[in-house]
């Protein structure tokens, strides 16, 4: 398709209009957006958006809960003038990207307005390109944790009016109580207001549910390092933990890229899956662990370290792998010598996917040597010595050596 055809918003066949609307309502729409709204036979939107856009001649259909139940109805209208109303920029943490997975872009006309992030930067004089952008709308509060870095400026989409106070409590609990929190409410409309408080003394009340939080992170709090190899002490564990030095080498061997899905088999404390997800917001992971107490420990670690979306499965490989979505990468940190585990993992792995397996026992090493002999790949052995007290002096104490096999599926 030519670039000209893609760029023509008024080309025939563009039956679906996705229109961003602000708190200033219909008066803030461009003439083209207003014309598309008026031409629609049906408008799908939240009740607040319907009120902002009124009066409307079209039939209005408020979003159901869950919202995706409306998608078949929208698709059934293909070819008829139809409109979706959304807040601000529908393609920035909005419904636009979700709809574009169902409707080809060549059938969509989009009319975005400034996002809440852009409006917040315009109010505060912050450079948007230098801010961390986070959404907590319908998402766990712990997602903010990796972004809590001294000196960072964060813009956060709230779930409702309780989010700012919850963020303030989290910041104070993690040692960032000196951070300045600015709450920007109902930006762009007659109810707009901006209020601020330090996290440790946050006392703002009656916060509008439609709010964005700006945070200037300050204080010597417990920030997660940006490099892999988190301190072992950050992981609650019972000794079943891939230690920091080996974890760095393992993550490097796994070669994470945006959008990939990892299986962490025999996850122990979940350290590999957690650090994998910390490398990029789009990375996903499933931790498979047979012991229930470790499963709960993995969940606590994931919450504490800012990746609450980690999927944790209780079960024993290979049986527990049967119904899981196929992975782009596999790490086997426990049970590699158990019958069927390695073959099942390699079979499930997508073409071009990466498998990395570590072993410290002779039986595990024998399984990796056999895999290397048949499949190829690379085989390495790591040994780490740590200084520890010897009487009143210090000496080197070696950890158990780790054999690592890494392989890319053709």
Q: For residue 271, which of 316, 334, 219 has the smallest C-alpha distance?
A: 334
List helix spans (H) across 30-77.
31-39, 47-53, 71-75
What local confidence, expressed as pLDDT, does residue 400 receive? 92
Domains present along the chain, CATH in parentheses: 3-113 (3.40.1010.10), 117-216 (3.30.950.10), 232-408 (3.40.50.150)
Task: Profile the chain (410 residues) by mean pLDDT over runs of 10 residues.
Answer: 44 89 94 96 96 94 95 96 96 93 96 96 97 95 96 97 98 97 96 97 97 96 94 95 97 98 97 98 97 98 97 96 96 94 97 97 96 97 95 94 97
Distance CA 138, CA 67 (A): 12
Distance CA 109, CA 35 (A): 12
Could you give the C-alpha distances from 240 to 78, 243, 269, 297, 298, in angstroms and in order? 54, 9, 6, 11, 11
Residue 362, SS3 per DSSP: helix
Strands (E), 14-148: 16-21, 42-45, 59-62, 82-87, 108-111, 132-135
Cis amide linkage into residue 304, ω under 30° from 0: no
What local confidence, expressed as pLDDT, does residue 1 receive? 38
* pLDDT single digits (tens) 132-151: 999 999 999 999 999 999 99
What local confidence, expressed as pLDDT, does residue 220 receive? 86
What local confidence, expressed as pLDDT, does residue 12 receive? 65
Q: What pairing do the DSSP bridges indicate for beta strands 132-135 and 180-185?
A: unpaired
């Amino acid at each position: 398709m030519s670039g000209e055809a893609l760029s023509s918003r008024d080309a025939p066949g563009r039956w679906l209009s996705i229109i961003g609307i602000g708190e200033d309502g219909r008066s803030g729409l461009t003439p083209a957006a207003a014309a598309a709204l008026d031409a629609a036979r049906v408008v799908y939107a939240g009740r607040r958006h319907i009120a902002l856009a009124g009066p409307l001649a079209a039939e209005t259909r408020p979003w159901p809960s869950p919202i995706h139940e409306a998608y078949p109805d929208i698709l059934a209208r293909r070819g008829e003038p139809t409109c979706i109303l959304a807040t601000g920029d529908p393609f920035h943490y909005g419904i636009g990207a979700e709809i574009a997975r169902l409707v080809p872009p060549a059938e969509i006309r989009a009319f975005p307005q400034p996002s809440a992030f852009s409006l917040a930067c315009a109010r505060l004089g912050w450079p948007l390109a230098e801010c961390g952008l986070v959404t907590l709308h319908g998402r766990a509060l712990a997602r903010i944790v990796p972004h809590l870095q001294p000196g960072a400026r964060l813009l956060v989409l709230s779930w409702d009016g309780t989010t700012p106070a919850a963020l303030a409590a989290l910041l104070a609990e993690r040692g960032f109580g000196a951070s300045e929190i600015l709450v920007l409410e109902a930006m762009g409309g007659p109810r707009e207001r901006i209020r601020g408080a330090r996290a440790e003394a946050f006392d703002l009340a009656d916060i509008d549910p439609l709010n964005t939080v700006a945070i200037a992170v300050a204080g010597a709090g417990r920030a997660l390092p940006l490099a892999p190899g988190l301190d072992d002490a950050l992981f609650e564990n019972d000794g079943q933990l891939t230690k920091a030095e080996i974890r760095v080498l393992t993550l490097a061997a796994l070669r994470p890229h945006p959008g990939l899905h990892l299986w962490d088999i025999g996850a122990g404390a979940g350290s590999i899956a957690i650090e994998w997800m910390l490398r990029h917001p789009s990375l996903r992971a499933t931790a498979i662990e047979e012991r229930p107490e470790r499963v709960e420990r993995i969940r606590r670690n994931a919450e504490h370290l800012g990746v609450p979306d980690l999927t944790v499965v209780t079960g024993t490989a290979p049986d527990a792998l049967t119904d899981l979505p196929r992975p782009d990468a596999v790490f086997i940190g426990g049970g590699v010598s158990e019958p069927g585990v390695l073959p099942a993992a390699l079979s499930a792995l997508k073409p071009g996917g990466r498998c990395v397996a570590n072993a410290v026992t002779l039986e595990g090493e024998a399984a990796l040597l056999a895999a290397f002999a048949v499949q190829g790949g690379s085989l390495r052995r790591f040994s780490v010595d740590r200084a520890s007290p010897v009487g009143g002096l210090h000496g080197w104490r070696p950890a158990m050596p780790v054999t690592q096999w890494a392989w890319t599926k053709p």
